Amino acid sequence: MSPRAVLKREYETYLRVQRGLSGDTIYHCLRFYDRFLTAKFGTGLGDLNKIKPRDITGFILRLREAQNAPRDKTGPSHLRNLFQFLFWSGKTERNLSSAVPKARQPKPTGIPRYLEPEQVNRLIEAVRGHKKTGRRNYAMLMLIARLGLRPPEVTAIELDDIDWRAGEILIRGKRQLHDRMPMSAEIGEAIVDYIKNERRGPDRALFVSVKPPFKRFKDAQILRWILRDAYAATGITPPQAYIGTHILRHSLATDMLRKGASLAEIGDVLRHRSAMNTTIYAQHDVDALRSISRSWPTAEEKQ
């Protein structure tokens, strides 16, 4: 193996063992490893101590020009992982991770988009009609719409993660955090129907492809395609240009808020680690916001 390939294998072990990152994140980190070293040294591996901060900023600027996505923070994040590894393993004398510029992330000011409960139900029901994937797609969308799961959390569910006696399901969340959530009868019946009548193959993942050899999904893009087809089948207009399944999480939170749930309860269901992430839904409860707003001062009050 070439020195560059050996270093890449060491980096992969570091990401998996020391950092505990998911397979998808490791894959993208290794891609940026190759892209940056190729930009700096070509096909080989030069002196890593000759990497300068200007090399890093120049590489990121070229990424921005090619992607036209100035707010994308994944590239800088993957590069920080690389330079932290190089310093941790003694390959570089300086920790260049601090030289990686941050992507500008303005605070969102708009009200989260959402769908009405009746629209959500129509979308979920629309996917059931497919002969080969209807039961699978229906169960996957149910987990997002009813439990507020993120797409990668849906595709990461294993058969052994479901405790049928306790009525619970293990959720493999962000940053390797695991949570157990109650599984309603509606969701349980959908999963059982899929396992008995549609699922095939020896893979231990709950949701698998319908094509041989019936393996698990490499990423969660399948859910975006399922929702896109559901929009087309029902004629519902997406509330935003980008068709993503996160709209179902927003819709669940908005519906809970309308039915009297507190922000703390919504945060527990969505498994927010910070209460600040849940406060965006307070914008939907206009009456509650009016109760805490101060009255506009009049000329008489000023006197």
Active site residues: 150, 174, 246, 249, 272, 281
Tokens at 71, concatenated: 């707010």
The secondary element (H helix, E strand) that includes residue 119 is helix 117-126
| Cα 47 to the center of its chain, rounded Å | 36
- Report how far apart the first and last C-alpha atoms of the chain are (Å, whole number): 83
| 293-298 long-range contacts, CB within 8 A, separation 24+ | none
Q: What is the DSSP letter of 284?
A: G
The secondary element (H helix, E strand) that includes residue 162 is strand 162-163
- Spatial neighbors of 148 by CB under 8 A, at least 6 apart, are 248, 249, 252, 253, 269, 270, 271
- How far is the C-alpha of 220 from the C-alpha of 143, rounded, in Å? 13
Please identify which residue in the block is written with the tokens 């509650």. Answer: 288
Count of beta carbons in the 10 Å neighbourhood of residue 278: 20
Count of beta carbons in the 10 Å neighbourhood of residue 261: 16
Cis status of the peptide bond prior to 202, with omega within 30 of 0: no
Name the 3-class secondary structure at 164.
coil
What single-letter amino acid sits at 147?
A: L
- How far is the C-alpha of 156 from the C-alpha of 105, rounded, in Å? 28
Please identify which residue in the block is written with the tokens 């699978």. Answer: 136
